[in-house]
Amino acid sequence: MPENNIVFEQLSNHHKEIDLFEIINKDTLEAYRIKYIGTKNILKELFGEIKNVPNERKKEFGQAVNALKLAAEEKFQTYKAQFEEDTNDQKEVIDLTLPGDNFPLGARHPISIVKNKIIDIFKKIGFTIAEDREIEDDWHNFTALNMPEDHPARDMQDTFFVQVNPDVVLRTHTSSVQVRIMENQKPPIRILSPGRVYRNETISARAHCFFHQVEGLYIDENVSFADLKQTLDYFSKEMFGDGIKIKMRPSYFPFTEPSAEVDVTCFLCDGKGCNVCKHTGWVEILGCGMVDPAVLENCGIDSKKYSGFAFGMGVERITMLKYQVNDLRLFSENDVRFLKQFSGI
């Protein structure tokens, strides 16, 4: 009887072994086949043991051995089918300990680099970011900014109209965001609105049908032109270098009064005169002015109590000056040879 027990115990051990045998790829499947299915499989010797089993248990033993053989066969077939389905051998040999593939990192777009730099500079003096829609209505892009219908300044902006509705335009400047903010917030307001703008211009090295602007707006009690000048002086030095001087030239924008354009000393030639500054020693970087009281009133802000300044600059323009890019089209062609030059800046 003890001998019988040993034979039955062997049987159940084989069962366990077969269950636990890990088949993870074609090689382990083959090892399994040799061990349990092939001509010299280890289950065969169990059949020989039947002579040691007493007659009354022979039937039971025979059935158990057959069941074991079937279980071994079934497991083999299941895995065999699975690996045959996997025509892609990759799946069976994934070695998770191997180092991963190297893939090259892209670089930030120069327009984003400069835009982020402008944002960082103004964040330090308390400006927060305000962004809004690129498809605007006439009121926010023009009328509220002192450009009623038929105002000649509208022509300068080569507007794209959306479908046939002349009330819906692709914004021609980010000044539309100042209107939206003033309509919805009470002073003090100190915002910077970066974004894409559109103009129906013939594409050339100097002009494009879309580009990027950053608009600044500061409204509070007693904001003066001196605050504007100080702010822009700070910005220019942070952006272009400590030795930079600014010059404000009188100009005209419908939404500011007085208005000015700002030049900085040419940082390439130190003001001595070169190709970039067309030998004047100065380069223009932005437009600005004191927000026209009529614009404040259009947006529901009491112009007797509050005053403010605004400025707007083209990100492409600043980028071209700073990195001496001479063709605006390069920014939208996505040629990696061009873009790569700005990694690490």
Tokens 């032109």 found at: 225
- Which residues are registered as beta bridge partners of 196? 212
CB 170 within 8 A of CB 160: yes
Under the criterion CB under 6 A, does residue 110 sit at the interface with ligand DAH?
no
Q: For ligand DAH, which residue has the nearest CB?
A: 312
Under the criterion CB under 6 A, does residue 263 sit at the interface with ligand DAH?
no
Could you say which of 61, 312, 316, 320 contacts ligand DAH (CB under 6 A)? 312
Could you say which of 76, 142, 198, 253 contacts ligand DAH (CB under 6 A)? 253
Q: Which of 143, 138, 283, 131 is nearest to 212 (CA)?
A: 131
Least distance to ligand DAH from the beta carbon of 332, Å? 19
Q: Closest CB to ligand DAH among 111 and 310?
A: 310
Instruction: Tell me which H or E stretch contains 265.
Output: strand 256-265
Per-residue x/- mask for ligand DAH, residues 191 to 220, rule CB under 6 A?
A: ------------------------x-----
Under the criterion CB under 6 A, does residue 231 sit at the interface with ligand DAH?
no
Under the criterion CB under 6 A, does residue 173 sit at the interface with ligand DAH?
yes
DSSP 209: S
Under the criterion CB under 6 A, does residue 138 sit at the interface with ligand DAH?
no
Cα separation, 7 vs 1, in Å, equals 10
Cα separation, 173 vs 278, in Å, equals 27
Cα separation, 89 vs 167, in Å, equals 61
Q: Between the CA of residue 250 and those of 46, 61, 195, 230, what are the distances in Å?
A: 105, 108, 26, 17
Tokens 């819906």 found at: 168
Span of 19-27, 287-295, 296-304, 333-341 interacting with ligand DAH by CB under 6 A: 287-295
Could you say which of 287, 301, 318, 328 contacts ligand DAH (CB under 6 A)? 287
Could you say which of 288, 295, 301, 321 contacts ligand DAH (CB under 6 A)? 288
CB 237 within 8 A of CB 217: no
Span of 102-110, 120-128, 304-312, 330-338 interacting with ligand DAH by CB under 6 A: 304-312
- Which residues are registered as beta bridge partners of 311? 216, 288
Least distance to ligand DAH from the beta carbon of 95, Å? 58
Q: How many CB atoms lie within 10 A of CB 141?
A: 25
CB 138 within 8 A of CB 287: no
Under the criterion CB under 6 A, does residue 175 sit at the interface with ligand DAH?
yes
Could you say which of 136, 289, 295, 306 contacts ligand DAH (CB under 6 A)? 289
CB 300 within 8 A of CB 294: no
Least distance to ligand DAH from the beta carbon of 279, Å? 25
Under the criterion CB under 6 A, does residue 256 sit at the interface with ligand DAH?
yes
Least distance to ligand DAH from the beta carbon of 208, Å? 14
Could you say which of 114, 118, 310, 320 contacts ligand DAH (CB under 6 A)? 310
Q: Which of 284, 285, 316 is nearest to 111 (CA)?
A: 316
Residues forming contacts to ligand DAH in the complex (CB under 6 A) are 173, 175, 215, 253, 256, 287-289, 310-312
